C-alpha cells in the first residue's frame, strides 16, 4: 500500500465505532500494488477457495471463475466492470474504505459498488476490523453478477436514501437487514445450508463457524425480525438468518418500509442471540461462550 488511507471521523453504530473515510472516488492504483500485496491476495484467495467448496452457494464460486478472478494477481476493476456492466449494469468504484451512510446509499441506488482499493497486510490475514480489497472484491463482487441480487442491492440503496427521512432508528433497522443478508446471510438449497454473505465468504474463521459450530442459532429469514435484531462487529455472529432464494430478498425489499419503521419504533430490539417462540429454527445454538443473549 503506497498511499495512506485517510480516516476522517468515527461513527458510532450497532457495530461499535467504525472509521469513516474520505468520500472521494479514486481510480484503482493497480500498478502501485507491491509483490507483497499480490501475495496477500493469492494466499487469501487460495485459502478461501479451498475452504468454500461445499460451503459457499455454488453460483458464487462459478461466478468468480467466470469473472476471471484467480490467485495469480489482484483483479483489475476495469476488467471486472466490463463484465458487470454487460450483465447487470453495475460498476465498481475505488474508495479509501467505509463511507458515510448517505454516500454509500447513493452509490448503491445508482448501481455503483464502492470497493476499498487497498489490501490488508500479511499479518492481518485472519482478521481485519474494516473492509479491504479482499473482502469487497472476493466477497461482494460475484453476487453483483446475479440480476436478482444486484436488484436487491440497488433497492437497498434506494431504501437507505428514503430511510434518512425517518430518522436514526429507521437507519439502524435497515443496516441490520444489510448486515444479516449481504454480509452474513446463509441460503438453503437441496444440499443444505450454504454461505452467500460477503462477511463470511471473506473470513476463514467465520466460514467454518457459521456452518459447523454448535454455538450460533440458524433461523429462517423474517424481514421484521431481522430488522429488530442487534449484532456485534467484533465476534462471530450469534444468529444467522437463512433465506430460500434471492427472490425472497427481493420480495422483502418490495414491501413498503414506512409502516414497518413505525411499528418497530414501538418494539424493543432483540438481542443478537435470542430465539423467539415464533422463529423458524433450523438450529438452536448452544450459546457457548456468550453473555446476555449474545449481545456481549
Q: List residues near Fe ion by CB under 5 A.
A: 131, 198
Q: How many CA atoms lie within 13 A of 59 on its CB side?
A: 17
CB 211 within 8 A of CB 55: yes
**Least gap, CB of 221 to Fe ion (angstroms):** 18
| C-beta of 99 vs 198, nearer to Fe ion | 198
| C-beta of 137 vs 215, nearer to Fe ion | 137
**Least gap, CB of 268 to Fe ion (angstroms):** 27
| C-beta of 198 vs 219, nearer to Fe ion | 198
Cβ count near 59 (within 10 Å)? 19
| C-beta of 95 vs 198, nearer to Fe ion | 198
| C-beta of 204 vs 281, nearer to Fe ion | 204
* CA gap 196, 180 in Å, rounded: 11
* CA gap 106, 251 in Å, rounded: 21
| C-beta of 141 vs 215, nearer to Fe ion | 141
The pairing of beta strand 239-243 with beta strand 186-189 = parallel
Kindly give, in sequence order, each residue whose CB lies less than 8 Å from that of residue 2, ignoring residues fewer than 6 positions away.
29, 32, 34
Nearest to 210 by CA among 173, 238, 243: 238
Cell of 27: 481510480
Buried b (16+ CB within 10 A) or exposed e, 125-150: eeeeeebbbbbbbbbbbbbbbbeebb
CB 293 within 8 A of CB 272: yes
**Least gap, CB of 135 to Fe ion (angstroms):** 6
Q: How many CA atoms lie within 13 A of 272 on its CB side?
A: 24
Cell of 65: 471463475
| C-beta of 138 vs 257, nearer to Fe ion | 138
**Least gap, CB of 199 to Fe ion (angstroms):** 6
**Least gap, CB of 182 to Fe ion (angstroms):** 7
**Least gap, CB of 210 to Fe ion (angstroms):** 15
**Least gap, CB of 144 to Fe ion (angstroms):** 12
Amino acid at each position: 500500500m503506497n498511499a495512506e488511507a485517510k480516516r476522517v471521523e468515527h461513527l458510532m453504530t450497532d457495530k461499535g465505532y467504525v472509521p469513516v473515510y474520505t468520500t472521494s472516488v479514486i481510480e484503482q492504483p493497480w500498478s502501485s500494488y507491491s509483490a507483497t500485496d499480490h501475495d496477500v491476495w493469492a494466499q487469501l484467495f487460495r485459502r478461501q477457495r479451498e475452504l468454500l467448496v461445499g460451503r459457499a452457494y455454488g453460483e458464487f464460486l462459478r461466478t468468480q471463475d467466470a469473472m476471471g478472478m484467480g490467485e495469480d494477481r489482484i483483479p483489475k476493476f476495469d476488467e471486472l466492470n466490463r463484465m458487470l456492466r454487460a450483465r447487470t449494469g453495475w460498476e465498481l468504484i475505488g474508495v479509501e474504505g467505509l463511507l458515510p451512510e448517505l454516500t454509500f446509499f447513493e452509490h448503491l441506488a445508482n448501481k455503483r459498488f464502492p470497493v476499498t482499493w487497498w489490501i490488508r497486510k500479511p499479518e492481518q490475514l485472519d482478521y481485519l476490523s474494516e473492509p479491504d480489497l479482499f473482502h469487497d472484491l472476493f466477497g461482494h463482487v460475484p453476487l453483483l453478477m446475479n440480476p436478482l441480487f444486484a436488484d436487491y442491492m440497488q433497492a437497498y440503496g434506494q431504501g437507505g436514501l428514503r430511510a434518512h427521512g425517518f430518522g436514526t432508528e429507521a437507519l439502524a433497522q435497515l443496516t441490520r437487514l444489510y448486515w444479516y443478508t449481504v454480509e452474513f446471510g446463509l441460503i438453503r438449497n437441496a444440499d443444505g445450508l450454504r454461505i452467500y454473505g460477503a462477511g463470511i465468504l471473506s473470513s476463514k474463521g467465520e466460514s467454518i463457524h457459521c456452518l459447523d459450530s454448535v454455538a450460533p442459532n440458524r433461523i429462517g429469514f423474517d424481514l421484521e425480525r431481522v430488522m429488530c435484531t442487534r449484532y456485534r462487529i467484533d465476534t462471530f455472529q450469534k444468529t444467522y438468518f437463512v433465506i430460500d432464494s434471492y427472490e425472497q430478498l427481493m420480495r422483502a425489499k418490495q414491501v413498503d418500509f414506512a409502516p414497518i419503521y413505525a411499528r418497530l419504533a414501538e418494539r424493543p430490539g432483540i438481542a443478537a442471540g435470542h430465539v423467539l417462540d415464533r422463529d423458524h429454527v433450523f438450529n438452536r445454538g448452544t450459546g457457548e461462550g456468550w453473555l446476555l443473549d449474545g449481545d456481549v
